[in-house]
Amino acid sequence: MAKNQEAAKTEQHTSVIQAPKFQTATFTIIGTAPYVQNKFSQKAREAMHEKQAAGSQGKKGKTRTAKDFKECCEHAKHLTANGVCGIPAPAFRNAMISACRTVGFKMTLAKLSVFIEADDFDADDGTPLVLFKKGKPRYTELAVRNQTGVCDLRARPMWDAGWEADLRVRFDADQFGIDDVANLLLRVGQQVGIGEGRPDSKNSCGMGWGLFAVKGKKQ
């Protein structure tokens, strides 16, 4: 009798959890402001590793080597195995999640609902990348202030306004419609930004860099 009751309960069960309905849309974005990149390079990681591995003996008798600004600029780029520059895909996803604050949409839901598909990956650290369709980086030196308050010079690659990329956004259609995604991306391009000096920078109000317009969409 007990087995028959369990079987009946199993047959009567109705599923309340639906499978996710993901869709993908492609947006062409065009930079309306410069984009500046600052990758934490392999050389910097190796230097940090060496310093930490040396412990308390690390500073004794160590001379400070001259900074190669051109090399620093090159190491700040995200490059594929073929030497092609790209923008970290997580930068767009993080920016879209951040933009949800402007419209009162729960960021915790957005984290589960919107993703950026990678064109390729960084050959050094595996970062997913969105590749440039248009635009070349140029060398630039920026005056910055360290956390200690000391001024410093940093060499970074800068893409002038007019850079272009195709962005493939995969989204949960139960949470967002295609127009929602497009409008959220518009807010990223006009209010949040990506890269160094963006308006939504955690450490400052930014330089107005990393902004873009959305040219078109394909689903």
Collect the ranges in the chain with pLDDT lower than 70. Answer: 1-13, 41-63, 217, 219
Per-residue pLDDT, 113: 96
Per-residue pLDDT, 87: 98
pTM, 2 dp: 0.82
- State the amino acid at position 216 in one-letter form: G
Distance of CA 89 to the CA centre of its chain: 5
Per-residue pLDDT, 65: 76
CA dihedral for 78, 71, 200, 185, sign (positive or negative):
negative
Residue 85 three-state SS: strand
Per-residue pLDDT, 109: 93
Per-residue pLDDT, 159: 98
Per-residue pLDDT, 126: 95
Q: Return phi, psi of residue 108, to 5°.
A: -65, -35
